[in-house]
Structure 1
Amino acid sequence: MASEIVRLSRVSKGFNDGDKYHQVLDDINLSLNIADTVALTGPSGSGKSTLLNIIGGFEFIKQGQLLLNENDTTHWQDKQWSQFRRLHLGVVFQQFNLLTPLNVRDNIAFSLRLNQQKWTPWCDYLIEQLGLNDVIGRNVETLSGGQQQRVAIARALAHKPRLLLADEPTGNLDEKAGQQVMRLLTQLARESNTCVLMVTHSSDCAAFMKRRWHLELGKIHE
């Protein structure tokens, strides 16, 4: 299987605000490989979340090319995007985005069911490493913010995705909980051989990643 997971070639993206045009991404070239861990930093409004959304197929480009697993996504329809997300993508949001009617175990199993996969020893290991054994049957609404974020990480990694996109995953946590979450996230991603691209404003969180990209004025600098 190819080691390159993501390649953006000459990708540009902008939006109109009244009679003004704002260039968010300007002729971006980048690539991500298996086991890469990259922190994406930059000022608010610089396009960090836009870049994540483009890679995940939640926003689309008209200029440039996006390759995922060496496949050109230019003409992908909903079916191809859905298949890629189910099989190869994990996402961790700042707002957790858990399924509140469900308990912890059912939230984690959700991504498995989408792929017709069953609970595995890896899932048990995630539960143990993330300290969720004692809350496995509890509704996620009753958990603390730190616990909910650990559930979100377990759900994102349960199917061992090739790529994990994380948008400010510790943004709603205090410093101690944020550091704990980052240690667990990077450890488990390493053990599942998952590539991580993480948006963060925190230098402490960025330090957990092997590489650091800074996005400003439409350009990425490493």
Structure 2
Amino acid sequence: MTHSSHAAVVTLTQITKGFDDGGQYHQVLNQLNLSILPGETVALTGPSGSGKSTLLNIIGGFEQADSGELSLLGNSTQRWGDAEWSAFRRRSLGVVFQQYNLLTPLNVADNIQFPLSLLGERWNDWCDYLVNKLGIAELTQRAVEQLSGGQQQRVAIARALAHRPALLLADEPTGNLDANAGDEVMQLLVKLAADAGTSILMVTHSDTAAQYMTRRWHLEQGKIHE
């Protein structure tokens, strides 16, 4: 898989997706043409049910578009099977969800180095840098279920960026945090993603969180307005 530093991280060409809803066809994405360049950060806003999470899932390969083409790092995904998708996710994708999805039997350090272990790599200076910046260096041996929500979200961010992915997909990453904790997490997320050279596409309902991104896509009635 070639990875050109100049290729757009994500290119959507005429992407369309809809659902049958009790006999009614409901179009959520209508011929979207969009791209995200290396290092760009994009907030994705829009009313509930407008298809924001669907768009994230299509880019991550968790759902398929009905038509159109998705290219990632300059490679068309049209003929990708499970092996290609797995390789892309392992090497080039980080995800942060509102539910932190941490691996509960593992401690903090093992959660953070999990994506590295899939690549045959281990804890490194970058991991040290992440835990220090995120203020969780003292917690690395702690079981994740013993952490507060804010601490768990910081672990989730460290894990998502541990392998310095080209792309981070975030779905309401501050949804469960109070305003102060949310602001702090957003500042850290933007700073650390920039340090990693990672592009961000973040679904959010929060105007405050959206303002941390350099671009804003508003999805409504199947179309994106920037």
Length-normalised TM-score, structure 1 = 0.99
Q: Deviations over 1:140-197 (max 9, x none)?
A: 0010000000000000000000000000000011111100100000000011110000
* Residue in 1 that maps onto 2:212: 208
Alpha-carbon RMSD across the aligned residues, in angstroms, is 0.6
Residue 22 (str. 1) matches residue 23 (str. 2): no
Residue 91 (str. 1) matches residue 87 (str. 2): no
Q: In structure 2, what is the Cα distance between the partners aligned to 1:221 and 1:61?
A: 20
Q: In structure 1, what is the Cα distance between the partners aligned to 2:145 and 2:122?
A: 25
Q: In structure 2, what is the Cα distance between the partners aligned to 1:2 and 1:120?
A: 23
* Residue in 2 that maps onto 1:67: 71
* Residue in 1 that maps onto 2:111: 107
Q: In structure 1, what is the Cα distance between the partners aligned to 2:201 and 2:76?
A: 20
Counterpart among 148, 151, 158 of residue 144 in structure 1: 148
Decide whether the 8 Å contact of 1:2 with 1:70 is kept in 2.
no
* Offset of residue 2 of structure 1: 3.4
* Residue in 2 that maps onto 1:132: 136
Note the 1:4-43 alignment, pairs <5 A: 4-43=8-47
Aligned residues: 222
* Residue in 1 that maps onto 2:123: 119
Report % sequence identity.
Answer: 63
Q: Which amino acid aligns with 2:5?
A: A
Counterpart among 59, 62, 74 of residue 58 in structure 1: 62
Ranges of 4+ aligned residues in structure 1 off by more than 4 Å: none
Decide whether the 8 Å contact of 2:18 with 2:66 is kept in 1.
no
Counterpart among 185, 190, 201 of residue 189 in structure 2: 185
Q: In structure 2, what is the Cα distance between the partners aligned to 1:164 and 1:125?
A: 18
Q: Is there any run of 5+ residues in structure 1 with no aligned partner, and where?
A: none
Q: Deviations over 1:27-64 (max 9, x none)?
A: 10000111000000000000000000000000012310
* Residue in 2 that maps onto 1:2: 5
Q: In structure 2, what is the Cα distance between the partners aligned to 1:70 and 1:160?
A: 18
* Offset of residue 134 of structure 1: 1.5
Q: Which amino acid aligns with 1:2?
A: S
* Residue in 2 that maps onto 1:221: 225
Counterpart among 168, 171, 176 of residue 175 in structure 2: 171
Q: In structure 1, what is the Cα distance between the partners aligned to 2:202 and 2:91?
A: 19
Q: In structure 2, what is the Cα distance between the partners aligned to 1:77 and 1:120?
A: 31
Decide whether the 8 Å contact of 2:28 with 2:51 is kept in 1.
yes
